[in-house]
Chains A and B, each alone.
Chain A
Amino acid sequence: MKKLLTGNEAFAYGAYLAGVKVATAYPGTPSTEVVLNCAKYDTIYSEWSPNEKVAFDVAVGAAYAGGRALCAMKHVGLNVAADSLFYASYTGHKAGLVVINADDPGMHSSQNEQDNRNYAKFAKLPMLEPADSEEAKRFVPLAFEISEQFDTPVFIRTTTRLSHSRTIVEMNDSRRIVPSTEKIKFERNPGKYHMIPANARLRHTVVEEKIRKLAEYAETFAYNVVESGNDEIGIVTSGVTYQYAREVFPKATYLKLGMVYPLPKQLILDFAKRVKKMVIIEELDPFFEEYFKTLGIEVIGKEVFPIEGEFSPYLIREAAAKADLTEAPAPIKPVSLELPSRPPMLCPGCAHRGVFYALKSLNAVVHGDIGCYALGGSPPLAMMHTSGCMGASIGVVHGVDKVGVKDRTVAVIGDSTFFHSGIHPLINVLYNKGVSTVIISDNRITAMTGHQDNPGSGQTLLGEPVEQIDLETLVRGLGARKVAVVNPFELDEMLETLKEFMESEEPSVLIARYPCVLNIKEKHPVPEIDLEICTNCGTCLEIGCPPLAKTEDGVAIDVQLCNGCGLCVKVCPFEAIKKSNDQ
């Protein structure tokens, strides 16, 4: 039977076929749906861990104890898990361990576009890269075989475009591997698993031997394939880029690499002899290109195809045409009509809006973090002045404090990001006598990636009810004495508390709590605007709420979009916006 699956759904199906016992992740676009879909198979224990490092360690433990384990994360998530990645490369594990890692060329929803193929080389681990959903499915059981044969974690690299494209997959449930329960046992072997220097030195030798053997294996790996065509041009490529290249160079000869590290030296040398001109088409870094150049092969690569951004068939055609590798595309008439952009915004009814409106009223400097609330940096609120990576806000605000800037500086971090990596920097603020104000904008869910549960939301990924972490008790336990929980829609209280905290000589934590309205599907009656009173002053428009629009007669509310949260009612200086009568 054939089915249309996204790359991420296909990875999960592959995990099911491979008899995976444990799947772990912290949500992150574009990798979220891998473990989300693993959870749909009752043969796979699946969990949202608080961050990628924890997720990785859990997967390692499962593999140590004999169960096949899968861990998924976005590219920057691997930065968080990198410490664990390197020890796991040394120890190996009893059962297979596969890491699905999603790069985001073009930064559709990321802070950078790092090329994680570099991690494979860095940590001395093999990396596979499928080119469509069918390969995504096939590569998972295959990666587990490699993992167990070579006693190593194995990466499968994906990109946004592969993870979120839907292509045809052959469903073959009958081929599922049923894991044997006899293998489930932790066997003591500290020489292999206890990484003190004396043991680790011996393991390093094993790691070098492993990667040498894997390079030999790559020579005959079934998905490193030469596809014969016209040998005038030989294209070297991998992943979804292969599909784009096929559109532009339908008749060329291809070396399609299913294993992107380690690379098959002899296969590459033979390919170089066969084709007249070798063209490497790879998104992001010149990862293949640099290796090919060490082999003394002349290649066309990054001087033609950009190092930045996401590729597309058109981009490849245009770049290749400039280098006379193909015909130029038909000219496209430029668009002269001005089309205003449509950036994402805080949703109607979003409680983060109350937090940022209060911060704006107090003219704060805001060190922000990763999540929906990063949209508080967009106009008209425009109240986020730095943001870098998960959990950075609180460390950064402390540094600003310690250098001597005391004035109006706060950190804003979401609940899920706080659980991910905000607790340690808060300990640091409290331990090292900082005076910063930290706002935890707590909407009880991991919202940006599509509402995944977290330790504060009271439910696991498998839908089991669980005790919610009590943030207030947690931060008090860390040593915070100035702590308040405020509903961000109660603007007066929000302003008063925030002002007091920001002016205080001691560290403070303001928990701004209101559940994500998209998640709880809350909606109230739409307020009414009295156009007799409205002076069109524009104050309500400063909250940046999508249903509010300026018209000639005054401000209008789009009743279909409006969530009825009433924040506009509170900010109107003339009381022209009134709660609906039926409220």
Chain B
Amino acid sequence: MQNYNFILAGVGGQGTILTSDILVEVGLKAGYDVKKSEVHGMSQRGGGVESHVRWGEKVYSPVVERGKADYLLGFEMLEGARWATYLNPQAKVYINDHKIYPPSVNIGQGTYPEEKNIEQLLAERSTIFAWVGAMAKAKELGNPALAGVVMLGRLARELDVTVEIWLEVIAELVPAKFTKLNKEAFLAGRKMK
């Protein structure tokens, strides 16, 4: 059984926690031993949020070891870039084409890194790097909060788990009135390159 180490990183309010909850439940349903870790507390106050999800035959640590992440899902460019040192050389990286400026940049005292530099940083440490237009797709579907699930759909393309399991877990974890929209967002992501 293959092991998978995922890191999901975003800004508070982007749905990082819900998305990683879906990812870890899918692993369980697909027959893996799974663990997930994140740090709560400050997430609603606009700080960075990260989740570690692991699937495998037998998983010990709930956190991914630096240098051993197989997949990085960045819901925001800068937050994605922050996890560069966690990638293993075979990693695949998907970053939402979306910026949220941190306070130092807002008040003109810091500089947001250029896209091409972020791409270079992550691409040279991975086998696949892709920008994902998840925010644009989510807005097209009518709700920017869906971007996380679009990203998850993109990740799902790479994983050997049936689409039925993904949709089943989404239905279980997302409030009923948003289920349809979230399934649409997931399937849209699954079609993206």
How distant is A135 from chain B, measured CB to nearest CB, in Å? 13
Residues on the B chain within 8 Å of A337, using CB: 81, 113, 117-118, 121
Residue A43 at the chain B interface, CB threshold 8 Å: no
Please state if A340 and B42 are interface contacts (CB–CB under 8 Å). Answer: no
B152 to chain A, nearest CB (A): 17
How many residues on the A side are at the interface (Cβ–Cβ under 8 A)? Answer: 58
User: Which chain B residues lie closer than 8 Å to A308 at the CB level?
Assistant: none
CB A575 to nearest CB in B, in angstroms, measures 21
User: Of A13-21, A161-169, A298-306, A463-471, which binds chain B?
Assistant: A161-169
> How far is A345 from B48 in the complex, measured between Cα atoms in Å?
11
A175-183, A189-197, A311-319 - the one binding chain B: A311-319
Do B78 and A342 touch across chains, with their CB atoms under 8 A apart?
A: yes
A240 and B35 CA atoms in complex are apart in Å by: 12
- Contact in complex: A29, B102 (CB < 8 Å): no
Interface assignment of B111: CB less than 8 Å from any CB of chain A: yes
A314/B62 contact (C-beta < 8 A), A108-B41, A167-B35, A343-B47 known: no
Q: Which of B66, B102, B117, B144 contacts A314, CB < 8 Å? A: B66
List residues of chain B with CB within 8 A of the CB of A450.
40, 44
Q: Contact: B36 with A341, CB < 8 Å?
A: no
**Candidates A161, A247, A380; contact of B60 at CB < 8 Å:** A247
Q: A342-B47, A541-B107 are in contact. Are A313 and B62 (CB under 8 A)?
A: no
Q: How far is the CA of A2 from the CA of B33 in the complex (A)?
A: 11
Q: Does A309 contact B (CB under 8 A)?
A: no
What distance in Å separates the Cβ of B127 from its nearest Cβ neighbour in chain A? 16
- For residue A160, which residues in chain B have a CB less than 8 angstroms away from its CB? 39
A-facing residues in B56-96 (Cβ within 8 Å): 60-63, 65-67, 78-79, 81-82, 84-85
Instruction: Select one of A2, A30, A242, A378 contacting B40, CB under 8 A.
Output: A30
* Residue of A with least CB distance to B13: A561
**Residue with the highest number of chain B CB atoms closer than 10 Å, among A166, A242, A333, A375:** A166
Chain B residue numbers with a CB within 8 Å of A4 are 24-25, 28, 34, 36
Cβ of A2 and Cβ of B28 under 8 Å apart? yes
Which A residues lie within 8 Å of B85 (CB)?
332-335
Contacts A168-B33, A313-B63 hold; do A546 and B107 have CB atoms under 8 A apart? no
B106 interface residue, CB < 8 Å from A?
yes
Q: Is the CB of B36 within 8 A of A165?
A: yes
Q: Which residues of B contact A167 (CB under 8 A)?
A: 34-36, 62
Which residues of chain A have C-beta atoms less than 8 A from B102's C-beta?
340-343
Residue of B nearest to A2 (CB): B28
Q: Mark A234-264, 1 if CB is under 8 A from B, else 0.
A: 0000001011101100000000000000000
Is there an interface contact between B79 and A333, defined as CB atoms closer than 8 Å? no
Q: In the complex where A340-B110, A541-B108 touch, is A243 in contact with B60 (Cβ < 8 A)?
A: yes
Q: Are B40 and A544 in contact (CB under 8 A)?
A: no
Interchain nearest-CB distance for B60 vs A (Å): 4
Q: Are A344 and B111 in contact (CB under 8 A)?
A: no
Tell me how far the C-beta of A150 lies from the nearest C-beta in chain B, rounded to whole angstroms.
32
A344 touches B47 (CB 8 A): yes
Q: Is A560 an interface residue (CB 8 A)?
A: yes
Instruction: Name the residue in B34, B46, B110, B111 with the highest tally of chain A Cβ atoms < 10 Å from its Cβ.
Output: B46
Whether, in the assembled complex, A329 has its beta carbon less than 8 Å from a beta carbon of chain B, the answer is yes
- Judge whether A445 is part of the interface by a CB distance below 8 angstroms: no
Inter-chain contact A372/B45, CB cutoff 8 Å: yes
Complex CA gap A345/B102 in Å reads 10
**Chain B: which residue is nearest A163 at the CB level?**
B40
User: Which of A30, A340, A341, A378: most chain B CB closer than 10 A?
Assistant: A340
B44 — nearest CB in chain A belongs to which residue?
A518
Interface contact B44-A347, CB-CB below 8 Å: yes
Contact B46 A166 (CB under 8 A): no
Chain B contacts for A546, CB-based, 8 A: 46, 103, 106
Let me know if A550 is at the binding interface, CB within 8 A: yes
Contacts A2-B28, A335-B84, A340-B105 known; A164 to B39 CB distance under 8 Å? yes
* A345 in contact with B46 given A329-B67, A541-B106 (CB within 8 Å): yes
Q: Is A229 part of the binding interface, using a Cβ–Cβ cutoff of 8 Å?
A: no
Complex contacts, B63 vs chain A, CB 8 Å = 161, 165, 244, 312-313
Give the residue among B25, B44, B78, B81 with the most A Cβ atoms within 10 A.
B44
The answer to whether the Cβ of A280 comes within 8 Å of any Cβ in the partner chain is no
The reply to whether A29 and B25 contact each other, CB–CB distance below 8 Å, is no
B12 proximity list for chain A (CB < 8 A): 344
- At the interface, yes or no: B101 with Cβ under 8 Å from chain A? yes
Q: Which of B40, B60, B117 contacts A246 (CB 8 A)?
A: B60
Q: Does A338 contact B (CB under 8 A)?
A: yes
Is B154 among interface residues, defined by CB-CB distance under 8 A?
Answer: no
Q: Contacting B45 at CB < 8 Å: which of A108, A243, A347, A548?
A: A347
Interface contact B81-A168, CB-CB below 8 Å: no
Closest residue on chain B to residue A166 by CB atoms: B36
* Closest Cβ neighbor of A545 among chain B residues: B106
- A437 CB to nearest B CB, Å: 27
Given contacts A29-B40, A164-B40, A340-B104, contact A330 B67 (CB under 8 A): yes
Q: A98 → chain B, closest Cβ, in Å? A: 23
**Nearest CB of chain A from residue B37's CB, rounded to whole Å:** 4
Contact across chains for A341 and B104 when beta carbons are under 8 A apart: yes
A29/B65 contact (C-beta < 8 A), A339-B78, A538-B107 known: no
Q: Please give the distance in Å from B164's CB to the nearest CB on chain A.
A: 19
Residue of A nearest to B104 (CB): A340
B38 interface residue (CB < 8 Å to A)? yes
B112 within 8 A of A: yes
Contacting B at CB under 8 A, from A101-160, are 108-109, 132, 160
Query: Which residues on the A side are within 8 Å of B61 (C-beta)?
Result: 240, 243-244, 246-247, 312-313
Whether B190 is near chain A, meaning CB under 8 Å from some CB there, is no
Contacts known (A338-B111, A345-B103); A313 close to B65, Cβ less than 8 A: yes
CA distance in complex: A328, B192 (Å): 39
Chain A residues with a Cβ under 8 A of chain B: 2, 4, 29-30, 108-109, 132, 160-161, 164-168, 240, 242-244, 246-247, 312-314, 317, 329-330, 332-335, 337-347, 372, 375, 378-380, 448-450, 518, 538, 541, 544, 546, 548-550, 560
- Nearest 8 pairs of A and B residues by beta carbon: A344-B45, A165-B62, A344-B47, A314-B66, A109-B41, A340-B110, A246-B60, A313-B65
Given known contacts A313-B65, A541-B106, what 14 new A-B pairs fall within 8 Å (CB)?
A: A164-B38, A166-B62, A244-B61, A329-B66, A335-B85, A337-B117, A337-B121, A338-B113, A339-B81, A341-B102, A342-B79, A345-B103, A347-B44, A546-B46
Chosen A-B contacts, 9 in total, with CB atoms closer than 8 Å, are A2-B28, A160-B39, A164-B38, A314-B67, A334-B85, A340-B102, A344-B45, A344-B46, A450-B44
